């Protein structure tokens, strides 16, 4: 029963580079609808996780039916838990043209962070969602992400947490 730095603590102070790889970032995605956007995200998530694309798509679609994950300001954080996911995994898309997403503020979405978690992730899934929301609430970070089409630059912006901006 030591008090060492556990995996849970690591997630609490997590930087998003723990959740997302550069190849999981789509910096100039073209989608014509929310459904097509979710399909494209599921396709990339399937390629990264090795899970069936249909399973990923069905999971995030089911979650959207409970209520839109469009959180406002052009940002959506679709998410779901899947039995085959080994660790919490993210896919990020910056859209060329915003799509209607039934967001809380009725604004179309152009930045989307898909989060997939193992079924037993429990509170870690919520902590990861909270971390993503915190990063995407920073107007400077969001403006910089919207201003680039470079996956590595977007990855760096997502990973560059408050520790470096603690002003």
| Per-residue pLDDT tens digits for 91-113 | 999 999 999 999 999 999 999 99
In a domain, 1, yes or no: no
Residues designated catalytic: 79
Q: 28 in helix, strand or coil?
A: strand
Write down the pTM of the prediction: 0.87
Which residue range is the domain that position 115 belongs to?
A: 18-161
In the chain, the number of structural domains is 1
In a domain, 155, yes or no: yes
In a domain, 63, yes or no: yes
**pLDDT over threshold 60, residue 47:** yes
pLDDT tens, residue by residue, 149-158: 999 999 999 9
The enclosing domain of 99 has a CATH number of 3.40.930.10
Give the pLDDT of residue 14.
53
Directed axis angle between helix 139-146 and helix 123-136, to 10°?
80
Q: Is 58 exposed, middle or buried (0-12, 13-18, 19+ CB in 10 A)?
A: middle
In a domain, 37, yes or no: yes
Q: Closest by alpha carbon to 94, among 21, 24, 7? A: 24
In a domain, 5, yes or no: no
């Amino acid at each position: 029963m030591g008090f060492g730095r556990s995996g849970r603590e690591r997630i609490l102070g997590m930087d998003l580079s723990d959740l997302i790889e550069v190849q999981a970032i789509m910096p100039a995605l073209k989608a014509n609808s929310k459904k097509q956007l979710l399909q494209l995200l599921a396709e990339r998530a399937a390629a990264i996780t090795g899970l069936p694309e249909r399973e990923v798509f069905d999971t995030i679609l089911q979650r959207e039916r409970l209520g839109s994950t469009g959180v406002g300001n052009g940002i959506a954080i679709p998410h779901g838990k899947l039995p085959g996911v080994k660790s919490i995994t993210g896919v990020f898309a910056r859209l060329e043209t915003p799509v209607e997403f039934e967001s809380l503020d009725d604004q179309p979405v152009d930045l989307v962070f898909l989060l997939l978690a193992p079924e037993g992730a429990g509170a870690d899934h919520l902590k990861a969602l909270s971390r993503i929301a915190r990063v995407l609430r920073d107007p400077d970070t969001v403006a910089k992400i919207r201003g680039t089409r470079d996956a590595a630059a977007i990855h760096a912006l997502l990973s560059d947490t408050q520790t470096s901006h603690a002003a």
